[in-house]
Amino acid sequence: MRKTKWKCSTFYAWWVPILFLLPHLIAFCCFNLVPILTGIYASFTKWTLGKTPEWVGLNNYVQMFFNKDSIYYWQLRWGMESTIKFVILCVPFKILIPLILALFLSSKCRGHKTLQTFYYLPSLLSLSVVMVSWRYMFAPSGGIVNTLLSLGKLNWISVSPYNWVALIIITVWWGCGSNLVIYQSALEGVSQEILEAAEMDGANAIQKFINVTLPSISFPLQYTIVTSVIAEFGIWGQPDMFNKGGPTIEVINGVNHQSNKMIMQYIAESGFGSSGVNAGIASAMALILGATIFIVSIIQFRIMRRSDI
């Protein structure tokens, strides 16, 4: 009798939770774990997909980190450099602009619901729709931006730094809707009592925002900063469809450095290009990018925890 009881409790304690977890575990293994492990394995091979992968050990990493004669050495450097530059330039706007808009909407001004829809609308559009539209708008000759601002034939597409400005405008316009919704719901939760108390103590609007609102929305803020950084590290579609990576700005060892070509573009080029597949190099680059994002996220969390944003 005691034995049966023990069996039942063991079953409930171990197997029932596992049964509940099983669907997720299966999905996780199929769509996360196996691809990650395959990617790690592929990064140590020379693999054209059509043939069996050939084990090359650390050769792909050696090429990318130490062989200055290899195109992949420069692609990794320049790709990471452009991506980090983009993250640094873009993420602050992706946080600040939706936050300002959310604060404005939280004042419940007339037509705020319509405005909210209007601000969120771009997030629903597909990448190709966004890029084709903006490509036309930024066209140097006849583009609506140059026409409206009387900028003549200013080349937003293939002249630095205008290509960067255009890419940031497009990315912020397209992506600020999702952060806006998060900030709006967070602002709804800010205690009115504390705000009123601060006001009675003589705090002005800026003081109330810094000392009451900001600490109250610290978790959503942290979340959006981390997710925005991760998302922008993976930027690929906008520069690829806008100007294919932009103009060449220098040539070193027979490799041309394109102004705004991101690491994901190099990965896609090696892994899926029409010139043939180099899955080994593409996987190694992707793992380096993944590791970078992981490290940056950890640092972000540490800094935020310490400063208690």
Partner 1 sequence: MKKTLVMLTVFALLVSMTVLCGFAEAPVEVELWTLFTGPDGVTMSSIVDKYNTSQGKYKVNHIAIDRENLYTKLALAMTTPDDLPDFFVTYSYDSARFDKLGYIKPMEEILEKYEEFDFAIDKYHDACANLNYANGKRMSVSLDFPTWGMYVNNTLAEKYCPNVLEDKILTWDEIKTVGAKLQADGIEDIKVLGGGWARNDLLATYINFAPTYVADDGETLALDKDAVEKMIDLWKECYDAGYLWEEGDDVYAMFACDELIFFTNGTWSLNAIDEYGLDYSFIASPQLNADVEPVLFGASHAFMVVNKETSDDEAKAMASFMHYFYENSIEWARAGSIVASKITAMSDEYQAMPQAFVSNNYSISNPNYVYSQTLFDVLDGLGWDGVYGNISSADFADTWEKQTIEKVSAQQ
Q: At what angle do helices 71-106 and 112-120 cross, to 10 degrees?
A: 170
Check residue 273 and report its DSSP letter.
-
Half-sphere exposure (Cβ direction) of 77: Cα atoms closer than 13 Å:
15
Chosen residue from 40, 247, 287, 309 binding partner 1 by CB under 8 A? 247
Stretch that binds partner 1, among 78-86, 115-123, 275-283, 284-292 (CB under 8 A): 275-283
Q: Which stretch binds partner 1 (CB under 8 A): 16-24, 84-92, 125-133, 250-258?
A: 250-258
As a three-state string, the secondary structure of 119-181 is HHHHHHCCHHHHHHHHHHHCCCCCCHHHHHCCCCCCCCCCCCCHHHHHHHHHHHHHHHHHHHH
Q: Choose one: 157-165, 208-216, 221-229, 230-238; the region binding partner 1 (CB under 8 A).
A: 157-165
Q: Using an 8 Å Cβ cutoff, are 176 and 97 in contact?
A: yes
Please identify, using beta-carbon distances, which residue of 150 and 307 lies nearer to partner 1. 150
Taking the complex as a whole, how short is the minimal distance between the CB of residue 307 and partner 1, in angstroms?
43
Smallest Cα–Cα separation from 248: which of 259, 234, 264?
259
Nearest C-alpha neighbor of 140 from the set 127, 123, 154, 130 = 154
Contact code string over 103-142 relative to partner 1, x by CB under 8 A = ------------------------------------xxxx
Task: Find the binder of partner 1 among 203, 226, 277, 304 (CB under 8 A).
Answer: 277
Lay out the site mask for partner 1 across 5-44 (x = CB under 8 A, - = otherwise): ----------------------------------------
- CA dist 78 and 184 (Å) reads 37
Chain positions contacting partner 1, by CB under 8 A? 46, 48-51, 70-71, 139-142, 153, 155, 157-159, 244-245, 247-249, 251, 253-256, 258, 270, 272-278, 281
